[in-house]
Amino acid sequence: MTDAYIFDHVRSPRGRGKQGGSLNSITPMNLTSQVLRALRDRNNLDTSLLDDVILGCVTPVGEQGANIARVAAIMADYAESVPGKQLNRFCASGLEAVNTAAAQVMSGQSDAAVGGGVECMSRLPMGSDGGAMAIDPQTAYKSHFVPQGIGADLIATLHGFSREDVDSYALASQKRAAEAWANGHFNGSVLPIRNHVGDVVLDHDETVRADASMESLGSLNPAFVMMGDQAGFDDVALQKYPQVEAINHVHTAGNSSGIVDGAAAVLVGNKEAGEKMGLKPRARIRAFASIGSEPTIMLTGPAPASLKALKRAGMSTADIDLWELNEAFASVVLLYMKLLEIPHDKINVNGGAIAMGHPLGATGAIVLGTLLDEMERRDLSTGLVTLCIGAGMGTATIIERV
Amino acid sequence: MSNTINYTVDADGIALLTFDLSGKSMNVLTPELMQELDALVKQAAVDDAVKGLVLTSGKAAFIAGADIKDMVTAYDRGVTPREGYEFSYALNRTLRNMETCGKPVAAAINGLALGGGLEVCLACHYRVLADHPKAVLGFPEVNIGLLPGAGGTQRTPRLIGFRNAATMVLQCRNQKPQQALEMGLVHELAPVDEVVERARRWVLEKGDAVAPWDKKGFRIPHGDLMHPGTAQTFMVGNALLAKNTRHNYPAPIAAQSAMFEGCATSFDDGLKIESQYFGTLLAGPVARNMMRSLFVNKGKADKLARRPEGIEKSQVKKLGILGAGMMGAGIAYVSAQAGIEVVLLDRDQEYAEKGKAYSEGLLRKAIERGKSTEDKAAALLGLIKPTTNYHDLAGCDLVIEAVFESVKIKADVTAKTEAVVPESCIFASNTSTLPITGLAEASERPEQFIGLHFFSPVDKMPLVEVILGKKTNDEAIARSLDYVQQIRKTPIVVNDSRGFYTSRVFSTFTAEGISMLAEGVDPALIENAAKMTGMPVGALAVTDEVTLELAHKIGKETAAALSRDYPANLSEEVLQKMVEVLDRKGKRFGKGFYDYPKDAKKHLWAGLAEHFPAADTQPEVSELKKRFLTIQALETARCVEEGVLMHAEDADIGSIFGWGFPPYTGGTLSYIDTIGIREFVAECDRMAAAYGDRFKASAWLRERAENGQDFYA
């Protein structure tokens, strides 16, 4: 099997995902093509060497619809021979895109490709693509569909994570992110996004709160009480988890991932392609895996996905130097740390989506890049990145510096 | 000549079709009526003299619904989903032919139109509804395990939007004329005697023969399926549906799916989807069970199927109630509501007044909700006389005692009452456990002594369990049943036994839950399993409600009466420990299986984990559900064996309306028949081995199983 390497990655900063957010005025197409252009320009990349542009996007409707990957490549003035495809593995789409690019390289059917993703949640709100899962009566009924926040609260209830536990985790995420930004940890990979006259509209992650405190986090109302109680979703979940008397709603806007706009791109290829492009590989993609998990609770996929990828790589958790798990909700990370026995100082060391936001289709590529940058900074050799996924899935990727 | 529809064509060219089922007081949709409608519409369509059609009824109501006579037997006849589809689609075809016959059709809805009756109206191009409080429109189908299968799930959302349609089709809420007009269900309201004329006028003056959904550019009102608001409606609607049915009832989800899937396609394909879902329901046991128990047999019970023949119809004019507690006060309220003069007697005038105040409280709430008026309330209260004086009972036709559950006290009030009431007076006891025959020994006239077991709260609970003592005569039975009908409750008739039928079987449900606790089943799992079974309240929660103290006391008394040990089983041991050792006597005492914090929801007592530690492996919820259903059904079978129950219908109705045994089963005995008596006995055997002798099937039941003898012939 051919080895697939990561040569570079670029991401946009993450802008607050509503009107008034700094990226709200930038179209998804514009945002994506700025990132693709940056990936090309900073590497003097001859794009005709690329075999594909694969982008994750979870809400591929309206201006994000109709295969944004191919059209963004055209708009970024990539060689017209470069095709593109959009994929959707919900919250892991950005990582899945990189894995797919790597799979093409590993199988020998591509030499080099871009994987990444985009989501402008301020312009296309979550759920604007509809979907049978929640809406089609037969589907929702059979699968015991509940919104993810209910699943996150159910994880906390089942594993005894208190409001204080999840808030403490959220506070650490904010502090770590603020510190990472202050120390310039993200500088090498974040592309300032510009408007039509060339002014920078955003050059940093907009939702980080350096001044967050347990008091400020503690003052927020639980976000999923109404959904759970009045819309009946708690009861739907308990029919699947009848050992639970009542769901303890601990998640708030403060300890859940932020809604943001963002895009990211990762350059993947084989050794020869690297040589042709004149680029030095930064890491090898050692293994990756996706897995299905119980769909009602929805968010417990990362641990089994990670173990599956580790098994594929012939590794154990002890072989991983640094971990990244997307901070969809605080309880998801707390559970993962508990199950895989990962100390807090080895995971999400620069904070995560609770502080910086989770642009659904892009996040997987962003956290992969964050992991690689930090492995380099700390001079560590192995890292594992994973995300929890809607409808009960997990995707994980193991990288190794070369 | 037709015997379902009168057909005339007037000088203006209006064909008037008057539904008028001969020999019936109400129109129902029968196969014959539908065939005639089809033929007459076809005839009118090709008759050049006919400009348009008006449909009306020759009865006070328009059409009360479909005749379910054939449907209730479908499951037993082995009707397949495909055959069920054909049955429904035949109706759809007839109404669709009418809708597309090329001539305008108007409905002159002179009275109530329900189910299939409303579907006939919706297939007309124009609807005039009588502006009369009784002229309501609605779809009761889902409540009996079916869905509106003659276009109701397709025309309703297309006419009034998904949200309103869900209210009607899923929640089965009837619409009064004004609401129906505002929703857009009908086009105009008119006085009853003008509906036909208005409908005629529309045909002559406007006469549009094309349904809205057959017009170009038609959009579903208030947002089609692509509308974000509609997505929200379905997302929340689906969750509430799963919450409310706990996945036990196939009809609501089928109806919801028919609306969703049918409205995403052409109208004609939508009708097919509706009929497909209808077919799956008709071919299943739940529809049979619900139609049979909730509609057919409840209807028969309400018409006093158990009333002995040859006894003149009676009416209670003056009722005495002994004991003005919760039950006495409730009986007073429902009786005064039926216009009966009530003497509410207690030892203490203050208590008697308090009993009357209960009615005042209920009436105040009713007035606030607009369900009653000051005048009506005053009239009702005027009928209730609180007193301590037995002489006020003079002239009573019926006296019901609802005093403390003590044989001695009951004997005392019986004697005091019989000293003042006329000889013809029936004396009834509202005891929930004490055998009637024994209580009747205190009576001078034991043949006029009977049990009338009400359920709490009396104003809400629809059932009265009529218990016959050994000497109770036919006249007492007939007159008691007449009274139950008078207060608009549903009676079942059972023979005497400790706990009779309902209390006896219900106690097996709570005991089973408590046994599970003793076995180490997680209490949250017990409670959720009970609710997922379809029981209204968890086994531990409901024991808290009736109080552990009472359950403990009844258990002790029963053991004493039967000369057996106490505690004799796991649940009795738990009750004894909870009451006597842990001082957790129930909700009224502020603590039982649950804690009752002042400013938060009740929750299971954390101490249960210490005193009844959870086992390492927990059972599947499906197994717990089966245990809850099996133990109740088995105890019911024992009641049949012992002659406590005389009719399967009474068992089923009593279980559903008495203590909330899940209606999708059709009731305790329908449950056995549905899973098959052989399979049921096999389950009992398995459970007896796993959980104890209480699951043992008797020789009698075994023999029935071997003979494959169902409880319903």
Supply the CATH number for residue B432's domain: 3.40.50.720
Domain shared by B324 and B264, yes or no: no
- Residue in B147, B232, B238, B617 to test binding to A, most A beta-carbons within 10 Å: B238
Query: What residues of B are in the A interface, CB distance below 8 Å?
Result: 226, 228, 231, 234-244, 246-247, 253, 256-257, 260-261, 522-525, 527-529, 532, 601, 603-604, 618, 621
Do residues B345 and B454 both lie within one domain? yes
Residues B491 and B508 in one domain: no
Given this model, what pLDDT does residue A8 score?
98
**pLDDT over 70, % of chain A:** 100
- pLDDT tens-digit series, residues B281-304: 999 999 999 999 999 999 999 999
**B480 shares its domain with B552:** no
> Are the beta carbons of B524 and A242 separated by less than 8 Å?
yes
- Does residue B451 form part of some domain? yes
User: What percent of chain B has pLDDT above 70?
Assistant: 100
Q: Are residues B514 and B485 in the same domain?
A: no
Nearest-neighbour CA in chain A from B158: distance (Å): 18
Cβ of A140 within 8 Å of Cβ of B238? The answer is: yes
pLDDT, position B2: 62
Q: Is B709 exposed, middle or buried (0-12, 13-18, 19+ CB in 10 A)?
A: exposed
Assess A199–B contact: CB distance below 8 Å, yes or no. no
**Residue B13, pLDDT above cutoff 60:** yes
Q: Give the residue from A73, A84, A70 showing the smallest Cα distance to A35.
A: A73
CA gap A377, B192 in Å, rounded: 86
* Residue A13 identity: P
What pLDDT score was predicted for residue B3? 82
Q: CB of A102 within 8 A of CB of A365?
A: no
Taking a C-beta distance cutoff of 8 angstroms, is the pair A359, A14 a contact?
Answer: yes
Is the pLDDT score of B376 beyond 80?
yes
What does the block give as tokens for A172? Answer: 């650490």
Angstrom distance (rounded) from CA B359 to CA B383: 11
- Residue of A242, A130, A116, A345 whose CA lies nearest to B223: A130
The CATH code of the domain that includes B511 is 1.10.1040.50
Of B466, B497, B528, the residue that ends a domain is B497
* Cross-chain residue pair A239–B257, CB shorter than 8 Å: no
Task: Report whether pLDDT(A182) > 80.
Answer: yes
Residue B297 belongs to a domain: no
State which of B589, B621, B653 marks the end of a domain: B621
Mean pLDDT of B641-661: 98
Residue A257 has pLDDT above 60, yes or no: yes
The amino acid sitting at B323 is G
Mean local confidence (pLDDT), B420-439: 95
How far, in Å, CA of A325 to CA of A353, rounded? Answer: 9
Residue B271 is encoded by which pair of tokens? 């009708």
Q: Report the alpha-carbon distance of residue B197 to residue B183 in Å, rounded.
A: 23
B336 located within any domain: yes
The answer to whether residue B407 sits within a structural domain is yes
pLDDT at B557: 87
Which residues, in sequence order, are bridge partners of residue B319?
B342, B398
To the nearest whole number, what is the mean pLDDT of chain A? 98
A235 in B contact zone (CB under 8 Å): yes
CB pairs under 8 A, 24+ apart, for A99-104? A99/A285, A99/A288, A99/A290, A99/A395, A99/A397, A100/A54, A101/A4, A101/A52, A101/A54, A101/A266, A101/A268, A102/A4, A102/A268, A102/A285, A102/A288, A103/A4, A104/A51, A104/A52
Q: How far is A233 from chain B (nearest CA, A)?
A: 6
Identify the three-state secondary structure at position A143: helix
CA distances from B195 to A284, B108, B111 (A): 81, 5, 10
Which residues sit opposite A258 in a β-bridge? none
Among A390, A237, A398, A387, smallest CA distance to A303 is for A387
Q: What are the C-alpha distances in Å from B271 to residues B86, B92, B267?
A: 12, 7, 6
Which element (helix H / strand E) includes B467?
strand B463-468
Q: Is A377 exposed, middle or buried (0-12, 13-18, 19+ CB in 10 A)?
A: middle
Number of CB pairs, chain A paired with chain B, less than 8 A apart: 84
Interface-testing mutation among A243, A247, A296, with chain B (most B C-beta atoms within 10 A): A243
- Asked if the structure places residue B435 within a domain, the reply is yes
- CB B186 within 8 Å of CB B110: no
Report which of B495, B490, B508 is spatially closest to residue B572, judged by C-alpha positions: B508
State how far the Cα of B53 lies from the Cα of B200, in Å rounded to an integer: 8
Over chain B, what is the mean pLDDT? 96
On whether both B584 and B489 belong to a single domain, the answer is no
Determine contact: A164 vs chain B, CB below 8 A.
Answer: no
Yes or no, beta carbons of A128 and B228 under 8 Å apart:
yes
Q: How many CB atoms lie within 10 A of CB B249?
A: 21
Three-state DSSP class for A5? Answer: strand
Query: Are B485 and B523 part of one and the same domain?
Result: no
Provide the number of structural domains found in chain B.
3
C-alpha distance across the termini of chain A, in Å: 17
Whether residue B97 is found in the same domain as residue B246: yes
Asked if B458 and B568 sit in the same domain, the reply is no
* Domain housing B474: 318-497
**pLDDT range class, residue B1, cuts 50, 70, 90:** very low
Which residues on neighbouring strands pair with residue A292, listed in sequence order? A393
Whether residue B685 lies inside any domain: the answer is no
Which band of pLDDT confidence, cut at 50, 70 and 90, is reported for residue B159?
Answer: very high
Buried b (16+ CB within 10 A) or exposed e, B30-61: beebbebbbebbeebbeeeebbbbbbbbebbb
CATH number at residue B228: 3.90.226.10
Chain B residue with Cα closest to A230: B240
Q: How far apart are CA A360 and CA A370, in angstroms?
A: 16
For residue A261, the cross-strand partners are A15, A120
β-bridge mates for residue B54, sequence order: B16, B106
Q: Convert the pLDDT of each residue in A64-110 to its tens digit.
A: 999 999 999 999 999 999 999 999 999 999 999 999 999 999 999 99
Read off the pLDDT of residues B546-591 as tens digits, 9 standing for 90 and up.
999 999 998 998 899 889 999 999 999 999 999 999 999 999 999 9
Strands B463-468, B449-454: parallel, antiparallel or unpaired by DSSP? antiparallel
Query: Nearest CA to CA, how far is A238 from chain B (Å)?
Result: 8
Last residue of a domain, one of B454, B477, B497: B497
Same domain for B279 and B389: no
Nearest-CB residue to A141 (from B226, B238, B618): B238
Phi, psi dihedral angles at A372 (to 5 degrees): -65, -45
Put simply, the answer to whether B528 touches A140 (Cβ < 8 Å) is no
- Shortest distance between the Cα of A236 and any Cα of chain B, in A, equals 6
One-letter amino acid for residue A383 of the chain? G
- Chain B residue nearest residue A145, CA to CA: B239
Residue with tokens 């005389």: B646
Identify whether residues B343 and B409 lie together within a single domain: yes
Query: Are the CB atoms for A362 and A368 separated by under 8 Å?
Result: no
Active site amino acids of A? 91, 358, 388
Mean pLDDT of B111-139: 98
Q: Do A140 and B260 touch (CB under 8 A)?
A: no
Angstrom distance (rounded) from CA B173 to CA B263: 21
- pTM of model > 0.90: yes
A224 close to B (CB below 8 A): no
Predicted confidence (pLDDT) per residue in B271-284, tens digit: 999 999 999 999 99
**Exposed / middle / buried, residue B597 (Cβ in 10 Å: 0-12, 13-18, 19+):** exposed
Which tokens belong to A89?
A: 């593995």
User: Of all helices (H) and strands (E), which one includes residue B604?
Assistant: strand B603-604
B235 part of a folded domain: yes
| Complex ipTM value | 0.93
Q: What is the pLDDT of residues A4-38, one digit of tens each?
A: 999 999 999 999 999 999 999 999 999 999 999 99
Contact criterion met (CB below 8 Å) for A58 and A88: yes
Q: Please, what sign has the CA dihedral across residues B526, B529, B531, B534?
A: negative
Question: If you measure CA to CA, which chain A residue comes closest to B521?
Answer: A243
Residues contacting B478, CB < 8 A, separation 6+: B307, B308, B311, B314
Looking at the fold, whether B526 and B465 belong to one and the same domain comes out as no
DSSP E strands: which ranges in A103-251?
A: 112-120, 193-194, 200-202
* Residues of A in Cβ contact (< 8 Å) with B231: 127, 130, 134-135
Give the model's confidence band at B713: pLDDT under 50 very low, under 70 low, under 90 confident, else very high. Answer: confident
Rounded Cα gap, residues B26 and A186, in angstroms: 79
Angle of CA points B8, B5, B126, to nearest 5° = 75
Kindly state whether residue B657 falls inside one of the protein's structural domains: no
Which residues in A lie closer than 8 A to residue B621 (C-beta atoms)? 242
Rounded CA separation B635/B626 (Å): 14
**Interchain CB distance below 8 Å, A137 and B238:** yes
Is the pLDDT at B391 greater than 90? The verdict is yes
DSSP state of A190: B
Percentage of chain B beyond pLDDT 90 is: 96
Report the gap between the CA of B598 and the closest CA in chain A (Å).
18
Q: How far is B249 from chain A (nearest CA, A)?
A: 12
